[in-house]
């Protein structure tokens, strides 16, 4: 866009690319708090969309805003210091922000390249934006085109063929580290989306038994029924650890559920039998120190990134194809925005010219007694004259890429922003 032009879109965000797990955990906003935060976006900025997943937190706001206002808002929502927001919430504007959301929806910005879960999360983010009354015409166009691109990337390329996800990688790690998964006992702590997907992937591999525990008992019962397992009261997690060979920890709790004391106690009762803990919670569901407990193998979400990186290398060629799709879709979006942006100026210019035409025509007709036929002919002639005069300026506005300069020039030359009436302008020029 033209240097100095007002931005159409301001965005800030962090992800696994620029923020370590400990920082991402501090910015994690609990799912039950997000509706209120989205409503607060509407109050603060008029409109805005939040994309929140286990590996990213992003805020998209239409218009030209100071990034500090957006980083401060998200920092406040997450309960962290504004300075932390300014350090990790990276700003993007206009084309860069558009391309970024397209890359996110297409799955090429994910920790696991090509994973399909993110597309549903982008769709859910915009649906939640609408429900919170924080939507806007630009956001609607942006998210709908992002979702469409995400579908096209997966149907038109092999980016999603055989794609893994963090949840499926977690199950893969369990298969690799537990010799006899068919006889293993699995404990799932957290019945949210991450826990459900990881548990489902393990169930598909034929684990011996699955127990599910969650703060909300009804959610644990629903997931346990879906998996053919059993639900456990949340207070029973400590006791259940003693019989668990594999623990999938996927809570959204602000504090770790698994501490070293609880895990060490379980290992004593297991009499040396090893335990695998896969922690896909953000923030962490387990203290990192549990990795030092004898007999425990601990993997957090960043440990799974090595597997994800190998997966990405196999899809490098598909990424280039998807990037070309992103460029094409971004160009189309920007063209739509430019056309939308010039419509008010063209409308104001046309209205101003038509108002002046009618005023001058009425003055002229009052000076002599014209027949109805003459009046009709003069009206048609002046209409045609105005159309011809405006044709080139309007065509230039629609065709030029650096339209901001032309929009400003037209509005100033034709005094479109003046409060004076066309009659006043005409009298001043006479």
Catalogue the E-assigned strands of 17-137: 49-53, 56-62, 90-93
Task: Answer for the pair 188, 198: CB distance below 8 angstroms, yes or no.
Answer: yes
Nearest to 88 by CA among 133, 58, 60: 58
Among 9, 14, 47, 54, the one annotated catalytic? 54
Which helix (H) or strand (E) segment holds residue 369: the answer is: none
Rounded to whole angstroms, the Cα distance separating 68 from 403 reads: 28
Tokens, residue 335: 């063209």
Contacts 24+ apart (CB under 8 A), 133-137: 133/39, 133/42, 134/38, 134/39, 134/41, 134/42, 134/47, 134/48, 134/49, 135/47, 135/49, 136/46, 136/47, 136/48, 136/62, 137/340
Tokens, residue 213: 């525990």
Q: With b meaning 16 or more CB within 10 Å and e meaning fewer, what string describes 245-259?
A: bbbbbbbbeeebbbe
State the CB neighbour count (10 A cutoff) for residue 424: 12
Task: Answer for the pair 214, 234: CB distance below 8 angstroms, yes or no.
Answer: yes
Task: Answer for the pair 123, 65: CB distance below 8 angstroms, yes or no.
Answer: no
Catalogue the E-assigned strands of 333-418: none
- Between the CA of residue 12 and those of 67, 79, 427, what are the distances in Å? 7, 17, 50
221 three-class SS: helix
> First-to-last CA distance in the chain?
39
Task: Answer for the pair 257, 228: CB distance below 8 angstroms, yes or no.
Answer: no
Rounded to whole angstroms, the Cα distance separating 389 from 382 reads: 10
State the CB neighbour count (10 A cutoff) for residue 79: 11
Q: Residue 39 catalytic?
A: no
Rounded to whole angstroms, the Cα distance separating 33 from 119 reads: 22
Only one residue has tokens 């479109």, namely 416
Distance of CA 339 to the CA centre of its chain: 24
Active site residues: 54
């Amino acid at each position: 866009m033209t240097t100095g032009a007002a931005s159409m879109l301001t965005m800030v965000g962090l992800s696994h690319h620029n923020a370590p797990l400990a920082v991402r955990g501090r910015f994690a906003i609990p799912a039950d708090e997000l509706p209120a935060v989205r409503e607060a976006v509407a109050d603060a900025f008029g409109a805005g969309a939040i994309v929140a997943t286990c590996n990213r937190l992003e805020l998209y706001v239409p218009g030209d805003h100071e990034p500090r206002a957006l980083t401060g808002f998200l920092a406040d929502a997450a309960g962290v210091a504004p300075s932390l927001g300014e350090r990790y919430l990276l700003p993007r504007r206009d084309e860069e922000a558009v391309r970024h959301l397209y890359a996110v929806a297409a799955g090429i910005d994910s920790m696991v390249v090509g994973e399909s879960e993110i597309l549903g999360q982008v769709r859910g983010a915009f649906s939640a934006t609408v429900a919170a009354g924080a939507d806007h015409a630009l956001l609607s166009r942006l998210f709908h085109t992002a979702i469409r691109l995400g579908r096209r990337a997966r149907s038109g390329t092999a980016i999603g063929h055989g794609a893994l996800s963090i949840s499926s990688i977690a199950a893969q790690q369990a298969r690799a580290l537990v010799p006899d998964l068919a006889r293993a006992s699995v404990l799932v702590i957290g019945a949210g989306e991450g826990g459900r997907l990881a548990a489902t992937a393990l169930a598909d591999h034929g684990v011996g038994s699955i127990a599910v525990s969650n703060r909300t008992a009804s959610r644990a019962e629903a997931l346990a029924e879906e998996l053919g397992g059993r639900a456990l009261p949340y207070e029973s997690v400590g006791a259940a650890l003693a019989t668990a060979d594999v623990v999938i920890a996927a809570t959204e709790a602000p504090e770790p559920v698994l501490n070293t004391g609880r895990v060490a106690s379980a290992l004593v009762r297991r009499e040396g039998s090893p335990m695998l803990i896969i922690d896909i919670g953000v923030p962490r569901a387990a203290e990192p120190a549990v990795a030092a407990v004898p007999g425990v193998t601990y993997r957090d979400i960043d440990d799974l990134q090595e597997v994800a990186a190998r997966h990405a290398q196999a899809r490098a060629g598909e990424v280039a194809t998807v990037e070309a799709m992103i460029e094409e879709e971004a160009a189309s979006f920007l063209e739509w925005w430019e056309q939308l942006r010039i419509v008010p100026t063209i409308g104001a210019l046309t209205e101003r010219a038509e108002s002046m035409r009618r005023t001058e025509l009425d003055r002229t007709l009052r000076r002599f007694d014209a027949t109805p036929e003459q009046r009709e002919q003069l009206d048609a002639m002046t209409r045609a004259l105005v159309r011809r005069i405006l044709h080139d300026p309007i065509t230039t506005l629609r065709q030029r890429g650096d339209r901001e300069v032309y929009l400003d020039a037209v509005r100033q030359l034709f005094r479109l922003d003046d409060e004076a009436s066309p009659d006043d302008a005409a009298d001043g020029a006479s």
